[in-house]
Amino acid sequence: MIKIEGKQTFLKILGMHCAACSYTVQKALVSVRGVKWAEVSLANNEAKLVVDPSVDYGELLKAVRRVGYDVYREAVYFNLDVRPEEAEAVVKAVGKWGVFTASFNPAFQLLYVEYNPLEVSVEGIMERLEKSCYKPRTVEKSEVEDIDKKLAEAERRDLARRLAVAAPLALFLAISMFVHIPPLFQLAAAAVVQFYSGWRFMRGAYRAFLNRTANMDTLVTLGTLSTFLYSAAAIFVGGPLFFETSALVITFVLAGRYIESRVRLKTGEAVRKLAQMQPPRARVRQGDSWVETNADSVKPGQLVEIREGEKAPVDGYVEEGWGYVDESAFTGEFTPVEKKRGSLVLAGTLLTRGRLVVRTTRSGGHTHLAEVVKLVRQAQNAKLPIQRIADRAAGVFTWVVIAVAASTFAGWTLAGSPMHTALLFTAAVLVVACPCALGLATPLAVVMGVGKAAERGILIKRPEALETAARAKYVVFDKTGTLTLGRPKLVKYIGRQEALSLAASAESKSNHPIAKAIVEYAGVGVEPEVVDTLPGMGVYARVNGVTVGVGNERLVEGMGATIPEELQREAERLREQHLVVYIVVGREVWGLAAFGDEVRPDAPETVSVLKKWGVEPVVLSGDSEKTVKTIAERLGIEKYYAGADPEKKAEVITQLRKSGVVVFVGDGVNDAPALSAADVGVAVATGVEVAKEAGDVVLRQNDLRKIAEVLQLAKKVVKTAKFNLFWAFVYNVLLIPLAAGLFYPIHLKPELAGAAMALSSISVTLNTLRSLNTIHDVKETRGVLRRR
Amino acid sequence: MDVDPVCGMEVDPARAKYKTLYGGKVYYFCSQMCKEEFEKNPGFYLAHGPRGMPH
């Protein structure tokens, strides 16, 4: 037997059903770096691996998913009180072994971990975190919905308490600059501010120190503690006192954090609102009466009553009743949808009219809404690729600042300044530096952008894709059906008008698309006496005693009629692009109607908006050259490919990618290869299983304008993130030298430096809130286009 | 009730699956076989009446 060095691990594989499957998975696993040996058993759906202890579980997961299977994993949320710039350190503390993904969202102070339950447990992960001196608290899944709100409130209360103590004392100390206050009184007041109000910073600094890192708290602590200790010493050995400096800095920084925590809460509002749509209580039928219970405990199969003005508490099918439901929570579309027996009603949708009794299919955390919220939450944890650089920068930033502070002190001392002057410059440097904007730049933008999008019926599953989408050069539509209504419309009629109303009568009972198009065009006619459908021919009817036939040539023949020559010529011409139907009355052909697939009303608008933005629309269709060309020309799309099968589609996309970023819009089911070949895949899905859809972005509504909205959103999110990063950079580059006294006599007092720092991080949050709050309908853009 | 012009069986027009249009009138059949037989030579059956099941 060959002995293989390494660590053994097991993975539960999902979705395997044959021996070939297990072989595919095995091959995929072996291809991952660090995997020395793998064996996949179909019998217990388990993969046994021998790996290098440093193997990347994320890569294992990716490899399995790439070949179309999945790995069973469990997820947990932890709440950690950490500064944004420590995000990377936290993720590192979770470790790699048994962990597929770990991401820390500084906006919510939530750590999300997906782990392999065969290898590690929640307790195990907590131990790892505690070893790094973090105090994790697990967060119940049901709590996740509003945990950020609870946390922010708790934080706000704590900040408010400390601020309430610091502010009057700092003011009292500030007066000491003008009025003599006995030094020992000053010391007492400053000590309270330093050790009660400033305790937050000292605690954070201590933990960072234990982790051998440094953060915001380290800087504030160093800056304030040094001036405080210097002043305390000065009472006894002589020298000027600066008790007001440390007290004011602590007050300003606390005030900044207080405001920031209020504003930051707003960025996550969209998802919270979404989660709250599911009512907590439901009326369930028990015997002959309706009993109110907890909506989570409703079992599938139970009947639930929804009255007018109420929101559905569960997912289910209408058993009895009728009504109109506002589904805007999912689709962003406010027009109510009619619901009758057999219709699907989703939890969180609002019954605007009527009364419904619904047979529950899913409740609680399993409803479609819960699934969407979960998806959005996970997406909000993602970071844009540009953030990686920022995180790395934030990690070393504090060390750089400490170094700059040290050289400032050395510099001023060497230049012959008294110790207290050098110390004040040093404190200003420590306090003015603001790494938090670096840490918050993209997470805030992503949280806000993903949430806003969800509100508008756009689910962003992979926010990283936004960065790519913002640079889109081509938007490829998967088929003509995406651009057209997919149902025929009467586009041309030649013949006697009365024949049309007779045809409408004949067709009034039929559900056939052609019949509907005729009725739509001519209106509902009189009730026919006799109607008969003849498969492969058309419809035969007797209206007011006259026989009427609507159909193809075979029908005309069956009616014993002949087609007049001029109509025949017309028909031949029209048949190039249309479906031609004859109307026979008695034994004569009275008219000819041509039907065509109509362009969706939102298509021309979307195409022109895209073009205006410099994005080239492309049609990539499996339909015939003729059909595709017609639609493309009508919409003014220059690039089109016809007769493309799924493989050809993927090929074309690969070609297009050579000259620019490709966004592919497809239905997600048939176009999986093309969706994954594109830089960004947008799946249009009106189904319920959103989470299972392929694609980076899922549109919940078949509205083309949403595509333009996705691009708009992508641009805004990236722009906001970049601006935040830029601001953080410029702010620090300008103010640190100023604080160090490089431009002396223009300089920054430490208390002003503290205020500047507080304002800087507030402004990043406010900027994000402001710029992403204005995601609007592309409809508004339509106004602009019209005006032109 | 209508009569299948080929075999002479009674057919319910409301439920008949096999039917065709000839000379501006709908004819109903009991089976695909009768229908095909009729379409081959409608004039013959209309002139001579039902001939029984075709073979």
pLDDT value for A780: 39
Query: Treating both helix axes as pointing N-terminal to C-terminal, what angle do A705-740 and A778-787 enclose, rounded to 10 degrees?
Result: 100
> pLDDT class for A232, splitting at 50, 70, 90?
very high
Sequence letter at residue A325: V
Q: What is the CATH number of domain A468-482+600-705?
A: 3.40.50.1000
Helix (H, G, I), strand (E, B) or coil at A215: coil
Distance from the A639 Cα atom to the nearest Cα atom in chain B, whole angstroms: 46
Among the residue ranges A41-55, A375-389, A422-436, A565-579, the one predicted with the least confidence is: A375-389
CA distances from B32 to A215, A329, B38 (A): 85, 52, 10
> pLDDT class for A412, splitting at 50, 70, 90?
very high
Alpha-carbon torsion angle A342, A347, A350, A351, nearest 10: 30
Residue whose pair of structure tokens reads 């307790």 in the numeric block = A123
Please say if the pLDDT value at position A784 is more than 50: no
Average pLDDT over residues A124-147: 75
DSSP structure class, residue A5: -
Residue A51 burial class via C-beta count within 10 angstroms: exposed 0-12, middle 13-18, buried 19 and up: buried
Instruction: Quote the number of domains for chain B.
Output: 1
Among the residue ranges A16-20, A222-226, A228-232, A544-548, the one predicted with the least confidence is: A16-20
Of the candidate CATH numbers 1.10.3470.10, 3.30.70.100, 3.30.2090.10, 3.10.20.30, the domain formed by A7-71 belongs to 3.30.70.100
> pLDDT class for A343, splitting at 50, 70, 90?
confident
pLDDT value for A19: 67
pLDDT value for A162: 94
Per the CB < 8 A criterion, the answer to whether A500 and A708 are in contact is: no
DSSP for A336-387, written as a single string: -EEE-TT-EE-TT-EEEEEEEEEEEEE-GGGSHHHHHHHHHHHHHT---HHH
Per the CB < 8 A criterion, the answer to whether A337 and A238 are in contact is: no
Instruction: Answer whether residue B37 is part of any domain.
Output: yes
Between CA A93 and CA A126 the distance in angstroms is 10
Between CA A770 and CA A354 the distance in angstroms is 39
Of the candidate CATH numbers 2.70.150.10, 1.20.120.450, 2.170.120.12, 2.40.37.10, the domain formed by A284-364 belongs to 2.70.150.10
Between CA A438 and CA A459 the distance in angstroms is 26
> pLDDT class for A187, splitting at 50, 70, 90?
very high
DSSP for A525-540, written as a single string: -PPPSEEEEETTTEEE
Chain A residues with beta carbon closer than 8 angstroms to that of B22? 558, 560
Chain B residues with beta carbon closer than 8 angstroms to that of A549? 21, 24
Instruction: Answer whether residue B29 is part of any domain.
Output: yes
Cis bond upstream, residue A745 (ω within 30): yes
Q: pLDDT by residue for chain B (55 residues), tens digit each?
A: 788 888 888 888 888 888 888 888 888 988 888 888 888 888 888 888 887 776 6
Please list the residues that pair with A565 across neighbouring strands: none
- A559: nearest CB among B13, B19, B24: B24
Instruction: Answer whether residue B41 is part of any domain.
Output: yes
The third-level CATH classification (topology) of the domain covering A485-598 is: Calcium-transporting ATPase, cytoplasmic domain N (3.40.1110)
Between CA A324 and CA A314 the distance in angstroms is 16
Please say if the pLDDT value at position A474 is more than 90: yes
Distance from the A503 Cα atom to the nearest Cα atom in chain B, whole angstroms: 15
Please say if the pLDDT value at position A225 is more than 90: yes
Spell out where A520-629 has E strands. Answer: 530-534, 538-543, 546-551, 579-585, 588-599, 616-620
Please say if the pLDDT value at position A14 is more than 80: no
- A534: nearest CB among B19, B23, B24: B19
Alpha-carbon torsion angle B21, B27, B28, B32, nearest 10: -60
pLDDT, tens digit (0-9, with 9 covering 90-100), for A249-290: 999 989 888 888 887 777 777 777 787 888 888 999 998 889
Please say if the pLDDT value at position A366 is more than 90: no
> pLDDT class for A144, splitting at 50, 70, 90?
low
Chain B residues with beta carbon closer than 8 angstroms to that of A534? 19-21, 26
Average pLDDT over residues A292-303: 87
Helix (H, G, I), strand (E, B) or coil at A661: strand
Among the residue ranges A575-579, A661-665, B14-18, the one predicted with the least confidence is: A575-579
Among the residue ranges A259-263, A401-405, A444-448, A583-587, the one predicted with the least confidence is: A259-263
Helix (H, G, I), strand (E, B) or coil at A410: helix
Instruction: Answer whether residue B53 is part of any domain.
Output: no
Residue in chain B closest to A560 (alpha carbons) equals B23
Among the residue ranges A117-131, A294-308, A545-559, A680-694, the one predicted with the least confidence is: A680-694
Between CA A98 and CA A119 the distance in angstroms is 5
Average pLDDT over residues A649-660: 89
Distance from the B15 Cα atom to the nearest Cα atom in chain A, whole angstroms: 10
Among the residue ranges A167-171, A642-646, A712-716, the one predicted with the least confidence is: A642-646
pLDDT value for A533: 84
Helix (H, G, I), strand (E, B) or coil at A750: helix
Residue whose pair of structure tokens reads 């217990």 in the numeric block = A44
Q: Where are the alpha helices (DSSP H) in A381-435?
A: 385-414, 419-432
pLDDT value for A783: 36
pLDDT value for A657: 92
Mean pLDDT, all residues of chain A: 84
Residue partners of A161: CB distance under 8 A and separation at least 6: none
Say if strands A99-105 and A110-115 run parallel, antiparallel, or are unpaired: antiparallel
Residue in chain A closest to B21 (alpha carbons) equals A558
Between CA A689 and CA A683 the distance in angstroms is 12
Angle, CA of A109, A113 and A114, to the nearest 5°: 155
Average pLDDT over residues A518-530: 85
Interface A-B, measured as beta-carbon pairs within 8 A, has a size of 30
Average pLDDT over residues A725-748: 88
DSSP structure class, residue A197: I
DSSP structure class, residue A196: I
Please say if the pLDDT value at position A785 is more than 50: no
Please say if the pLDDT value at position A1 is more than 50: no
CA distances from A278 to A272, A456, A460, A635, A681 (A): 11, 17, 21, 41, 30
> pLDDT class for A611, splitting at 50, 70, 90?
very high
Inter-chain CB proximity A534 and B20 less than 8 Å = yes
Angle, CA of A508, A514 and A515, to the nearest 5°: 5
- B26: nearest CB among A532, A561, A587: A532
Residue B18's domain comprises 2-48
- Residue length, chain A? 788
Helix (H, G, I), strand (E, B) or coil at A742: coil
pLDDT value for A689: 55
Residue A42 burial class via C-beta count within 10 angstroms: exposed 0-12, middle 13-18, buried 19 and up: middle
Please list the residues that pair with A550 across neighbouring strands: A539, A583
Give the rounded percent of residues in chain A with a pLDDT score beyond 90: 20
Please say if the pLDDT value at position A306 is more than 90: yes
Give the residue numbers of A annotated as catalytic, written as ranges: 478
Please say if the pLDDT value at position A321 is more than 50: yes
Instruction: Answer whether residue B54 is part of any domain.
Output: no
Which stretch of DSSP H or E encloses residue A474?
strand A472-477
Which stretch of DSSP H or E encloses residue A210?
helix A199-210
DSSP for A256-279, written as a single string: HHHHHHHHHHHHTHHHHHHHTTS-
pLDDT, tens digit (0-9, with 9 covering 90-100), for A55-103: 899 889 888 877 767 788 888 888 888 877 788 888 888 888 889 988 8
Segment 12-51 of chain B within 8 Å of chain A by CB: 13, 19-26
Average pLDDT over residues A633-642: 88
pLDDT value for A63: 85
- Residue length, chain B? 55
Segment 514-543 of chain A within 8 Å of chain B by CB: 532, 534, 537, 540
DSSP structure class, residue A691: G
Alpha-carbon torsion angle A530, A534, A538, A539, nearest 10: 10
Residue in chain A closest to B42 (alpha carbons) equals A558
Torsion A601-A603-A608-A612 (CA) sign: positive
Residue whose pair of structure tokens reads 């009303």 in the numeric block = A601
Which one of B2, B21, B22, B28 would you mutate to disrupt binding with A, by most A Cβ within 10 Å of its Cβ?
B21
Distance from the B20 Cα atom to the nearest Cα atom in chain A, whole angstroms: 7
> pLDDT class for A2, splitting at 50, 70, 90?
low
pLDDT value for A357: 94
Percent composition of chain A: helix, strand, coil (DSSP 3-state, to 5): 50, 20, 25
What b/e sequence results for A140-166 when a residue is b if at least 16 CB atoms lie within 10 Å of its CB, and e otherwise? eeeebbbbbeebbeebbebbeebbebb
Please say if the pLDDT value at position A782 is more than 60: no
If we measure between CA atoms, which residue out of A51, A48, A56 comes closest to residue A95?
A: A56
Distance from the A706 Cα atom to the nearest Cα atom in chain B, whole angstroms: 45
Q: Residues spanned by CATH 2.70.150.10 within chain A?
A: 284-364
Which one of B18, B26, B38 would you mutate to disrupt binding with A, by most A Cβ within 10 Å of its Cβ?
B26
| Interface confidence (ipTM) of the complex | 0.86
Sequence letter at residue A751: E
* Choice between A599 and A234, residue whose per-residue pLDDT is larger: A234
Per the structure block, which two tokens stand in for A726?
């830029």
**Alpha carbon A779 to chain centroid distance?**
21
Q: Residues spanned by CATH 3.40.1110.10 within chain A?
A: 485-598
Average pLDDT over residues A669-674: 68
pLDDT value for B43: 86
Between CA A173 and CA A244 the distance in angstroms is 5
pLDDT value for A170: 92
